[in-house]
């Protein structure tokens, strides 16, 4: 008997074969999901599971993301790290500006009343 894959595949209700784009993303169900950059230009299977989307290459799970998120672009920053392969050059690491932008984007959004902004506008006059 053949050994079972580790980890086991989750049951899925939708499967699609997609080509990994130059930016390391796979289009599936109206969203774009990242996969490790080494798979750029290859074909992967996207499995729509109950709570996750599993990306497989040659029957091996290479990425797992939450399914049906509000975000249309679902990225794991670790997918863009590592060494170049014979086929794909590694993306350059984020510089100071890129790291700062990522930090600002992940900060929680403050909710303030319109009166706060009216007061700021008055001070600016």
Q: What is the 3-state secondary structure (H, E, C) of the chain?
A: CCCCCCCCCCCEEEEEEEECCCCCEEEECCEEEECCHHHCCCEEEEEEECCEEEEEECCEEEEEEECCCCCCEECCHHHHCCCCCCCCCCCCCCCHHHHHHHHHHHCCCCCCCHHHHHHHHHHHC
pLDDT beyond 80 at 48:
yes
Q: Which residues contact 107 (CB under 8 A, 6 or more apart)?
A: none
pLDDT of residue 24: 95
pLDDT of residue 3: 77
pLDDT band at 47 (very low <50, low <70, confident <90, very high): very high
Token pair of 15, please? 């499967």
Residue 119, pLDDT score? 83
Q: How many Cα neighbours within 13 Å face the side chain of 14?
A: 12
Q: Output 78 or 101, whichever has higher pLDDT.
A: 78
Q: Is 12-92 a domain of CATH 2.30.30?
A: no
pLDDT bracket for residue 5 (50, 70, 90): low
Tell me what pLDDT residue 52 has. 95
Distance (Å, rounded) from C-alpha 29 to C-alpha 36? 19
The predicted pLDDT at position 116 comes to: 80
pTM over 0.85: no
């Amino acid at each position: 008997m053949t050994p079972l894959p580790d980890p086991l595949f989750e049951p899925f209700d939708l499967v699609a074969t997609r080509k990994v784009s130059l930016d390391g993303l796979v289009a599936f169900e109206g969203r774009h999901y990242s996969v490790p950059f080494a798979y750029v230009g290859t074909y992967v299977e996207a499995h729509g599971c109950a709570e996750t989307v599993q990306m497989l290459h040659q029957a091996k799970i290479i990425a797992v993301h939450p399914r049906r998120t509000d975000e249309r672009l679902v990225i794991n920053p670790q997918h863009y790290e590592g060494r170049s392969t014979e086929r794909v050059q590694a993306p350059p690491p984020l510089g100071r500006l890129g790291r700062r932008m990522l930090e600002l984007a992940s900060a929680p959004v403050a909710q303030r009343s319109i009166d706060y902004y009216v007061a700021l506008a008055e001070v600016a006059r």
